[in-house]
Amino acid sequence: MVNYAQDAAAAEETVAEIAAEGGQAIAVRADVADEEAVAALFDRAEKEFGGVDVLVNSAGRLALSPIADLDLDVLDSLHRTNIRGTFVTAQQAARRLRPGGSYVAFSTSVVGTQFPAYGAYAASKGAVEAMTLILARELRGRDITVNAVAPGPTATDLFLEGKTDEEVARLAKVPPLERLGTPVDIAHVVAFLASAQGHWVNGQVLRANGGMV
């Protein structure tokens, strides 16, 4: 199930890539903060594939601004996706994931690095980390793992938008590996957490950031 909010073309491209590798997929539009839409997303997954084993919530919004200057409407919009959206998807996962399943949320390494202008974003992801650790304990005895991945600077559209080449180059030098992460770097971490090989990792926030503190 490839969920999307706006970019149907990108979702269909992902579906095509999955099909090209021999898999099956469908794209379904749903706002992760809308509890009825997310419940319908699970209903569709159960109808099409027989049940849900893994949920990866990578939906997120980013707004950069000093705390003193941030428009509170922007704050509310960011938190609706990052906090409420995580809570809604986690709620359905808690109710409907099958034994042996995995829930993977997304945080950010900025929770630890505390870069200026990331206050609202880091605050929302701090909430994600708290939910992750608590949900892992609430699902005791269900054989379901709950973890969060906290990427460092990663070359995605969300990260690159609004940054100059100089800013991107400076941030790329921050990790000891001296490069930006790639979406594939992060996908490998998520795939491990969702796999049988990663099933002993539970209730953790994994900072995939090239060695940033």
**Active-site residue numbers?**
121
Buried-exposed string 94-116: b where 16+ CB fall within 10 A, e elsewhere: bebbeeebbbbbbbbbbbbbeee
Could you tell me if 168 and 111 are in contact, meaning their C-beta atoms sit under 8 angstroms apart?
Answer: no
Query: What is the token pair recorded at 191?
Result: 């795939």
Give how far the C-alpha of residue 35 lies from the chain's centroid of Cα atoms, to the nearest Å.
17
Nearest residue to 144 via CA among 107, 94, 178, 187: 94
| φ/ψ of residue 27, rounded to 5 | -100, 135
Backbone angle region of 86, left / alpha / beta, with phi > 0 → left and psi within -120 to 50 → alpha: alpha
Q: Helix 119-138 crosses helix 72-79 at what angle (to 10 degrees)? A: 30
Report the C-alpha gap between 8 and 75 in whole angstroms.
Answer: 26
Query: What is the token pair recorded at 134?
Result: 């608590």
